């Protein structure tokens, strides 16, 4: 088992770290998005109704996954995988920063979501393709093992993202009233944290 791991190229480690960080950031934001949308404005939310917030998030997630088709075409035709991943990581960081600085209105929030949709088009499908490109055609067993490791890192990132996001919004950056109730949530600092994480991925 250890010998098999040693045969994997160093590029796999870099890809795995990148996807773990991206999953961490993505699931951190996804876990609080509905809460951010529906929390009162005076508690650092948007004050939307649950049905409206759910419809916005559903539309965002649906278009986000469909965007991978367009991103894949542009990547194959012009950019290449590495440039596409760099662009996607950079735009993801920009999208989170837009959400961090956004005013509490749906227009500014949609601007951040649109940037994230464009970013996802260049990142989502391309990074898994990069894993396969690290191996020769006759290295099927190693490639299968590499994808298993790759998806394990996705799960690691997606596990810790919501946990840290909850701590940021409800504890570390929340404003607590004298009676112990949360007066204002720290949702925006989740966006800032995720932007920093994606800047690290770019580096």
The strand pairing partners of 184, in sequence order, are: 175
pLDDT band at 7 (very low <50, low <70, confident <90, very high): confident
**E strand map for the chain:** 175-176, 182-184
How many whole angstroms separate alpha carbon 195 and alpha carbon 192? Answer: 5
Mean pLDDT, range 133-158, rounded to an integer: 91
Report yes or no on 83 lying in a domain. yes
Question: Residues 183, 177: contact at Cβ < 8 Å?
Answer: yes
Tell me what pLDDT residue 126 has: 86
Tell me what pLDDT residue 115 has: 97
Domain with residue 88: its CATH number is: 1.20.1250.20
Tell me what pLDDT residue 3 has: 47
How many whole angstroms separate alpha carbon 186 and alpha carbon 183? Answer: 10
Mean pLDDT, range 40-56, rounded to an integer: 93
pLDDT band at 34 (very low <50, low <70, confident <90, very high): very high
How many whole angstroms separate alpha carbon 44 and alpha carbon 71? Answer: 33
Report yes or no on 2 lying in a domain. no
Tell me what pLDDT residue 155 has: 98
pLDDT tens, position by position, 72-116: 899 989 999 889 999 999 999 999 999 999 888 888 899 999 999
Which structural domain range is residue 77 located in? Answer: 11-202
Report yes or no on 134 lying in a domain. yes
Report yes or no on 182 lying in a domain. yes
Report yes or no on 6 lying in a domain. no
Answer whether residue 2 shows pLDDT above 90: no
Report yes or no on 21 lying in a domain. yes
> How many domains, in total, are found in the chain?
1
Tell me what pLDDT residue 165 has: 98
The strand pairing partners of 176, in sequence order, are: 182
Answer whether residue 1 shows pLDDT above 70: no
Tell me what pLDDT residue 6 has: 52
Mean pLDDT, range 4-12, rounded to an integer: 74
Tell me what pLDDT residue 137 has: 82
Report yes or no on 175 lying in a domain. yes
Question: Residues 134, 145: contact at Cβ < 8 Å?
Answer: no
Residue 40 in tokens: 């009162």
Report yes or no on 86 lying in a domain. yes
* Count of Cβ atoms closer than 10 Å to residue 72 Cβ: 17
How many whole angstroms separate alpha carbon 135 and alpha carbon 143? Answer: 6
């Amino acid at each position: 088992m250890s010998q098999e791991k040693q045969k994997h190229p160093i590029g796999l480690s870099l890809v795995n770290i990148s996807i773990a960080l991206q999953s961490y950031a993505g699931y951190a934001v996804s876990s609080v998005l509905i809460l951010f949308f529906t929390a009162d404005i005076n508690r650092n939310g948007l004050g939307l109704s649950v049905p409206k917030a759910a419809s916005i998030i559903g539309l965002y997630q649906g278009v986000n996954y469909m965007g991978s088709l367009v991103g894949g075409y542009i990547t194959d035709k012009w950019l290449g995988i590495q440039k596409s991943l760099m662009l996607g990581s950079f735009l993801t960081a920009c999208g989170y920063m837009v959400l961090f600085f956004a005013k509490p209105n749906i227009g500014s929030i949609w601007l951040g979501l649109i940037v994230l949709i464009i970013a996802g088009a260049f990142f989502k499908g391309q990074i898994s393709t990069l894993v396969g490109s690290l191996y020769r055609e006759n290295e099927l067993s190693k490639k299968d093992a590499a994808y298993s490791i790759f998806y394990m890192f996705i799960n690691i990132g997606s596990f810790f993202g919501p946990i840290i996001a909850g701590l940021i919004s409800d504890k570390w950056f929340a404003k607590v009233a004298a009676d112990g109730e949360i007066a204002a949530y720290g949702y925006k600092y989740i966006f800032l944290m995720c932007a920093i994480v994606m800047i690290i991925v770019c580096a």
